[in-house]
Structure 1
């Protein structure tokens, strides 16, 4: 019989599955292991993505940056047309499933920007030539300057979309961190930078993506996976049919949720995290990994977390698996007087108890250590 769980338990199981909280089955691993487990984590806010990885791996920002520098993890556009962090060896096979649909979805915008197939061929050659000239890495501004010199305009987001297409086809990825030039990375040649790319046939890739999503994000529904991956339902069914023997299910509100057996095993006792308080960055997979976020985020708090519903997620205070507020770094003397652990300024939706406030201080101290 499939176990039935409450939304609150669902949320806390996700804390464990995503390695936000430690569990007995969770291995000790570094930044690359965390990224490999999550498969892809949204990375449009680069400092936030670094904290997502550091929080789960228990390492500082420097260690996460070093994983990029060693070529273990990269940033590209494998899902939903936005930047994500993946293990270097995974980005190619994920793109083999998703790139075609993303390209079709952007076709109208690319016509508006006057981007043609010959234009993409031209900038591909320019980018690879520039990388060879500069020792294998280039900043976005350096690439844009090369495009402009060759008559390929970059204004009005045209340059961004040219780079997007080069990443989508697997020519470029963002690799080593460009310290001293802002919170960004150098672009590098995927072929030169990624030492051991995995090559999977389509059936293998669909199975792998389904298995890894539900293991790392579960409990989650097919609808959650469809939103996250943007695969067709036919592809999702094909992948899940091959993966389901290695997954378990629970029910909540009449819906079936898939998850890792190790996560389901936590139901034998009390689901962990009831007293936990964690500080998550904006765009963290804990919220972004699902189309239905109501288990962790009360509907009346959603506008406070995503103001205006414009897709810009604030950093969140999560208490017992529930979003209890937002947080940011303090600005100005008055705000700094209200900081927690000298670094975090929370804005609560609900009042925290004394033990939760102590847990918040511990979480803030952990973020301070991460920053170094």
Structure 2
């Protein structure tokens, strides 16, 4: 297997290679957790992997088939309802260390955070969905630049405790609701070893071929812990060594598949880049600064045959979406026409006309 093949197989593993009939929640379940701090773009991350429209994805989120919460790393993720509890059990405690540390800067220790959780539970009880600002008003935490960070830490702590998750959208505003009122708790519970094994298997099956350090970055667990997990489930995975680096992947990859031409306009923070510690398989080192910054801001990307060749942005108008592109290298006009065929799926997803400028 070559580095070129790695990027191709990742497309297949991430369900980007062929149009499929999976539902939005099935896509999220397959990938385990999908980074989702940019809500609009995160919905397209799901839509680019299935035939669902933006409206259908929003319906799945409002119906709590897909949960948006903080998990794995201290950022937003989409997680399927069937995965939310066991994933919180294993990853919540490690992320909480960061949120508790942040809250302490404002004089809020664990005891005070737990008292606030009790107040939040009363506020949201009975399927009462409130925005963060509404919750802070009820808690008498005044809005200011500093207090905004405190509010984020308070709500993240409540999420990681399994108390709250996203509620139904209130217009264009995101709300919070009680998790147990949206998703019933499972009758059985995984222990930590079982949960970590399930997380690793899910990652390598949906993101592989990938390395130990890739999994460590994505999961938020240390390389030492990740090595122990991989050793425990190694017989359930395939592996290949390239330049003294071991890449792990699931058994579902068909190495006999012929490569085929593909064009993808993918969203900012898409799993195809952000879920790997090393991204050289998909984007040349000299182009990386044009696709993402050192402080973790990722742009929407254009992939040709599994390689990032440029970036794009969309501006929503009344009756169309305006698309602007920036290619890393000079692109011939006739080739651009072929590339722009790849944006048609985005128009179908938005159910609107696409205008390329």
- Fold match by TM threshold 0.5: yes
1:350 aligned to 2:329?
Answer: yes
Q: Secondary structure at the match of 2:113?
A: helix
Could you give the per-residue CA deviations for residues 99-127 of structure 1, whole angstroms, max 9, x where no partner exists? 22222234442221221123212221221
Could you give the per-residue CA deviations for residues 114-155 of structure 1, whole angstroms, max 9, x where no partner exists? 21123212221221221136x431112211211226999971
Q: 1:236 to 1:158 in 2, by over 3 A?
A: same
Query: Residue 324 of structure 1 is aligned with which of 279, 303, 309?
Result: 309
1:214 aligned to 2:200?
Answer: no
Structure 1 Cα separation of the partners of residues 71 and 107 of structure 2 = 23
Q: 1:151 to 1:292 in 2, by over 3 A?
A: closer
Structure 1 Cα separation of the partners of residues 111 and 336 of structure 2 = 58
TM-score w.r.t. length of structure 1: 0.87
Query: Residue 44 of structure 2 is aligned with which of 43, 48, 51?
Result: 51
- Measured after TM superposition, the shift of residue 74 of structure 1 is 0.3
Which structure is richer in relative contact order (CA contacts within 8 A, separation 6 or more)?
1
Task: Report the more deviating stretch, 222-231 or 344-353.
Answer: 344-353
Aligned match of 1:371: 350
Structure 2 Cα separation of the partners of residues 62 and 156 of structure 1 = 30
How many pairs are equivalent?
A: 349
What is the correspondence of 1:236-275 to structure 2 with a 5 Å cutoff?
Answer: 236-263=226-253, 265=254, 267-270=255-258, 272-273=259-260, 275=261
Aligned match of 1:292: 278
- Measured after TM superposition, the shift of residue 298 of structure 1 is 1.0
Could you give the per-residue CA deviations for residues 69-124 of structure 1, whole angstroms, max 9, x where no partner exists? 22111011111111100011212211222222222234442221221123212221
Contact 1:206 1:238 in 2 (8 A): no
Contact 1:16 1:22 in 2 (8 A): yes
1:166 aligned to 2:158?
Answer: yes
Q: Secondary structure at the match of 2:264?
A: strand
- Measured after TM superposition, the shift of residue 233 of structure 1 is 3.5
Contact 2:99 2:157 in 1 (8 A): no
What is the correspondence of 1:149-160 to structure 2 with a 5 Å cutoff?
Answer: 155-160=147-152
Q: Secondary structure at the match of 2:309?
A: strand
Structure 2 Cα separation of the partners of residues 330 and 367 of structure 1 = 13
Q: 1:342 to 1:77 in 2, by over 3 A?
A: closer
- Measured after TM superposition, the shift of residue 342 of structure 1 is 5.7
Structure 1 Cα separation of the partners of residues 21 and 346 of structure 2 = 19
Contact 2:85 2:185 in 1 (8 A): no
Could you give the per-residue CA deviations for residues 236-280 of structure 1, whole angstroms, max 9, x where no partner exists? 2343234222211123222110111221x2x2243x34x211011
Structure 2 Cα separation of the partners of residues 323 and 68 of structure 1 = 29
Q: Secondary structure at the match of 1:261?
A: coil
Aligned-pair RMSD on alpha carbons?
A: 2.5
Q: 1:323 to 1:152 in 2, by over 3 A?
A: closer
Structure 2 Cα separation of the partners of residues 151 and 367 of structure 1 = 37
Query: Residue 178 of structure 2 is aligned with which of 176, 181, 189?
Result: 189
Extract unaligned runs of 5+ from structure 1: 333-340
Task: Report the more deviating stretch, 29-38 or 167-176.
Answer: 167-176
Q: 1:199 to 1:331 in 2, by over 3 A?
A: closer
1:65 aligned to 2:58?
Answer: yes
- Measured after TM superposition, the shift of residue 235 of structure 1 is 3.2
